[in-house]
Amino acid sequence: MTSTASTSSSDASAEALSLETRGIEPVPDGERNGNPLQLFWVWFAANISILGLPLGATLVVFTGLNIWQALIVAVVGAAGSFAIVGVVSIAGRRGGAPSLTLSRATFSVRGNIGPTLVSLMSRLGWETVNTTTAAFVLLSLFTLIFGGSGLAKEHAVVTVVSIVIFIALTLVVSGLGHSAILVIQKWSTWIFGALNIFVAVFLVATVDWSAVTSTPAGSISAMVIGIGTIAAGTGIGWANAGADMSRYQRTSVKAGSLVLSSAAGAGIPLVLLIGLGALLSAGDNSLASASDPVAAIREILPAWMAIPYLITAFGGLLLSNHLSVYSASLTTLTLGFRIKRVYAVAVDVFVTFVGALYFMLVSDGFYGPFITFISVLAVPLTAWLGVFLADMIKRKSYDTAGIMDVSRTSRYWYTGGINWYAFGSWAVAIVVGFLFTAIVVDGDVIYTGPLSDSWIGSNGLGWVASFVVAGGLYLATGGARRTESVTQ
């Protein structure tokens, strides 16, 4: 009995360390043995970062909610938006391929290039932000241990080493692929979850409970705004990666289980962190207004807590980056690059490496504008999501040969390689979304949509308008019925 258990454990370890050689081609049914609990751990780990605290802070300081309203908003916004990630995961179970690869069936081969490119730009952008932030965390850690000013430009060698360490740790796990991510994310959840709890205990000790209990309730309108803010900052940003991990799920897995595993996996840590952030900000707006939330949280803690806190923050960023880089590599391949998946991972992390170097050693104030740029990409991303989900209403299966065929013989070629019902709905929704959008960089107004001063626009909900218009227009024009008939 002991020998059998030992052999089984060894086999599992060997599988976790094996290199995933599959790219974007659909996973054969015989190799799909995943279960929803695996996705629960994946999404839990990706959202366990202590940096979720500033989201809760914004609900109290900028939206005017009390702690109970903030918790309700966190549940609806975070768990609700990750339920959408779970719905996209259903497509991965049906077709056995990554999200943007399956999107070829909806937009066609050429029409899918636009959404795929936007998705890749967004993913690489946030990975660059993750890498830069994590490198600053490591730089702070090295400064505490060895001394120094902690300024990146004054310690160029240490800065480069910090970036390389984060990139290397990301590359190892993302490069190995699916099995490694499943194992690392599961066990890291326990390790960094414990560290987060340890840090959270000391943060709770600093809460001004009198301010918490005396904070008046905000309006229903403010709660709606808060839900949009939390959703945009959590699940919506991950929606285009939903099928990337679920493609290995058994075909017999129930759709509801996929939705629940995503919503609960991400929702549990996010609700707790957002709730804690709301508690910390009652009577103190420093966390919500901080340009560097890592430093702001560190200042709240006792001095001796700095090292365990920085390790916790670094680990959270790393766990999120593992999944993001893996997804980006699949999106890169979907664009048509004829390279192995592991090489696509290397290309993606090289881009983030260069970006982090620029932010830390060259740029003066470019970090803010860059965040604005990738935030603006939420409009075309949610427009894609609206069309993709609307298409799923009628589409129950995908022709696996068709989504890999990029020639005129593909079942999904439509008209000139573009499904104009899907692409047109996507394009119109983008225009509508930007009507409600204002782009401001460091206080300078770059663009002002004609409806940006409306309730939707002034509350940053242009992406919601884009989502609704995209899905509604696609259904109204009968696009879902037409694309379903192509698969039969």
Cα distances from 105 to residues 112, 215, 418, in angstroms, run: 9, 50, 10
**Is 31 part of a structural domain of the chain?**
no
Q: How much is the average pLDDT of 258-268?
A: 96
Residue 29 falls within a domain, yes or no? no
Give how many domains the chain has, as a whole number.
Answer: 1
Task: Report if residue 468 sits inside a domain.
Answer: yes
Beta-carbon contacts of residue 369 (< 8 Å; ≥ 6 apart): 441, 442
Q: Encode pLDDT of 288-328 as tens digits.
A: 777 677 888 888 888 888 888 999 989 999 999 999 999 99
The Cα 386–Cα 437 span in angstroms is 18
The pLDDT tens digits of the residues spanning 5-58 come to: 443 444 444 555 678 888 999 999 889 999 999 999 999 999 998 778 888 888
Q: Which of 111-120, 147-156, 197-206, 362-371 has the highest mean pLDDT?
A: 111-120
Which residue is it, tokens 């309006």?
A: 219
Residue 91 domain-assigned (yes or no): yes
Tokens coding 435: 């009507």
What's this model's pTM, rounded to 2 decimal places?
0.90
* 82 falls within a domain: yes
Integer Rg of the chain from CA:
22
Mean pLDDT of 277-281: 91
CATH number at residue 130: 1.10.4160.10
pLDDT tens by residue, 136-170: 889 888 888 887 777 788 888 999 999 999 999 99
80-133: per-residue pLDDT in tens? 999 999 999 999 999 999 999 999 999 999 999 999 999 999 999 889 988 998
Domain boundaries, position 163: 36-477
State the pLDDT at residue 370: 66
* Structural domain includes residue 448: yes
Give the residue from 129, 79, 67 showing the smallest Cα distance to 277.
67
Asked whether residue 264 is assigned to any structural domain, the reply reads yes
21 lies in a domain? no
Would you tell me how many other CB atoms lie within 10 Å of the CB of residue 11? 10
Check if the beta carbon of residue 422 is closer than 8 Å to that of residue 104. no
